[in-house]
Amino acid sequence: MDRETRLKRLQFRAWHRGTREADFLIGGFFDRYSPDWSGEEIEWFERLLVEDDVDVMAWAIGTLPVPQAFQGPQMDNMRKLDFIDATK
Protein backbone atom coordinates (compact mmCIF):
# COMPACT_ATOMS: atom_id res chain seq x y z
CA MET A 1 0.00 0.00 0.00
CA ASP A 2 1.37 3.44 -0.84
CA ARG A 3 2.14 6.01 1.87
CA GLU A 4 -0.81 8.29 1.08
CA THR A 5 -3.37 5.48 1.26
CA ARG A 6 -1.80 4.14 4.43
CA LEU A 7 -1.96 7.55 6.11
CA LYS A 8 -5.59 8.09 5.03
CA ARG A 9 -6.56 4.79 6.63
CA LEU A 10 -4.67 5.68 9.79
CA GLN A 11 -6.32 9.09 9.91
CA PHE A 12 -9.76 7.49 9.78
CA ARG A 13 -8.85 5.02 12.51
CA ALA A 14 -7.33 7.79 14.63
CA TRP A 15 -10.46 9.93 14.47
CA HIS A 16 -12.99 7.11 14.93
CA ARG A 17 -11.99 5.57 18.23
CA GLY A 18 -15.36 5.39 19.94
CA THR A 19 -15.17 8.28 22.38
CA ARG A 20 -14.80 11.96 21.72
CA GLU A 21 -11.90 12.23 24.15
CA ALA A 22 -9.93 9.50 22.40
CA ASP A 23 -10.77 10.99 19.00
CA PHE A 24 -9.34 14.35 20.05
CA LEU A 25 -6.25 12.88 21.66
CA ILE A 26 -5.31 10.29 19.04
CA GLY A 27 -6.77 12.07 16.01
CA GLY A 28 -5.30 15.40 17.03
CA PHE A 29 -1.91 13.80 17.52
CA PHE A 30 -2.15 12.19 14.09
CA ASP A 31 -3.11 15.44 12.37
CA ARG A 32 -0.30 17.39 14.03
CA TYR A 33 2.59 14.97 13.54
CA SER A 34 1.83 12.50 10.73
CA PRO A 35 2.95 14.67 7.78
CA ASP A 36 6.56 14.31 8.94
CA TRP A 37 6.52 10.64 9.95
CA SER A 38 9.04 8.15 8.67
CA GLY A 39 8.07 4.57 7.86
CA GLU A 40 9.11 3.49 11.36
CA GLU A 41 6.98 6.19 12.96
CA ILE A 42 3.98 5.12 10.89
CA GLU A 43 4.51 1.53 12.07
CA TRP A 44 4.70 2.77 15.69
CA PHE A 45 1.36 4.54 15.27
CA GLU A 46 -0.22 1.47 13.65
CA ARG A 47 0.81 -0.58 16.69
CA LEU A 48 -0.51 2.12 19.02
CA LEU A 49 -3.94 2.00 17.37
CA VAL A 50 -4.28 -1.66 18.35
CA GLU A 51 -4.04 -0.73 22.03
CA ASP A 52 -7.07 0.11 24.16
CA ASP A 53 -7.97 3.79 24.14
CA VAL A 54 -8.04 4.00 27.94
CA ASP A 55 -4.44 2.76 28.05
CA VAL A 56 -3.23 5.15 25.34
CA MET A 57 -4.93 8.06 27.07
CA ALA A 58 -3.47 7.07 30.45
CA TRP A 59 0.03 6.89 28.95
CA ALA A 60 -0.45 10.30 27.33
CA ILE A 61 -1.60 12.03 30.51
CA GLY A 62 0.83 10.17 32.74
CA THR A 63 -1.52 8.13 34.93
CA LEU A 64 0.00 4.84 33.74
CA PRO A 65 3.62 4.13 32.85
CA VAL A 66 4.33 3.90 29.14
CA PRO A 67 5.29 0.36 28.04
CA GLN A 68 8.80 0.00 26.65
CA ALA A 69 7.44 -0.68 23.16
CA PHE A 70 5.87 2.78 23.02
CA GLN A 71 8.52 4.86 24.78
CA GLY A 72 10.43 7.37 22.71
CA PRO A 73 10.06 10.63 20.83
CA GLN A 74 6.59 9.96 19.50
CA MET A 75 5.15 9.22 22.92
CA ASP A 76 7.02 12.25 24.24
CA ASN A 77 5.18 14.33 21.63
CA MET A 78 1.86 12.73 22.54
CA ARG A 79 2.45 13.49 26.21
CA LYS A 80 2.86 17.21 25.46
CA LEU A 81 -0.85 17.42 24.63
CA ASP A 82 -0.19 20.67 22.78
CA PHE A 83 -1.91 19.45 19.65
CA ILE A 84 -5.47 19.21 20.96
CA ASP A 85 -7.84 21.93 19.74
CA ALA A 86 -10.02 22.53 22.77
CA THR A 87 -12.40 24.74 20.76
CA LYS A 88 -14.03 21.81 18.94
**Is the Cβ–Cβ distance between 13 and 49 less than 8 Å?**
yes
Supply the DSSP symbol for 34.
G
Distance between CA 88 and CA 85 in Å, rounded?
6
According to the model, what pLDDT value does residue 41 have?
97
CB 57 within 8 A of CB 21: yes
Q: pLDDT (tens digit, 9 = 90+) per residue, 67-86?
A: 999 999 999 999 997 877 66
Model pLDDT for residues 2-50, shown as the tens digit of each residue: 999 999 999 999 999 999 999 999 999 999 999 999 999 999 999 999 9
Question: Cβ distance 34 to 45 under 8 Å?
Answer: yes
pLDDT attached to residue 86: 63
Q: What is the pLDDT of residue 87?
A: 65
pTM over 0.85: yes
Contact residues for 37 (Cβ-Cβ < 8 A; gap 6+) = 7, 45
Which CATH superfamily groups domain 3-80? Flavinator of succinate dehydrogenase (1.10.150.250)
Domain ranges of the chain: 3-80
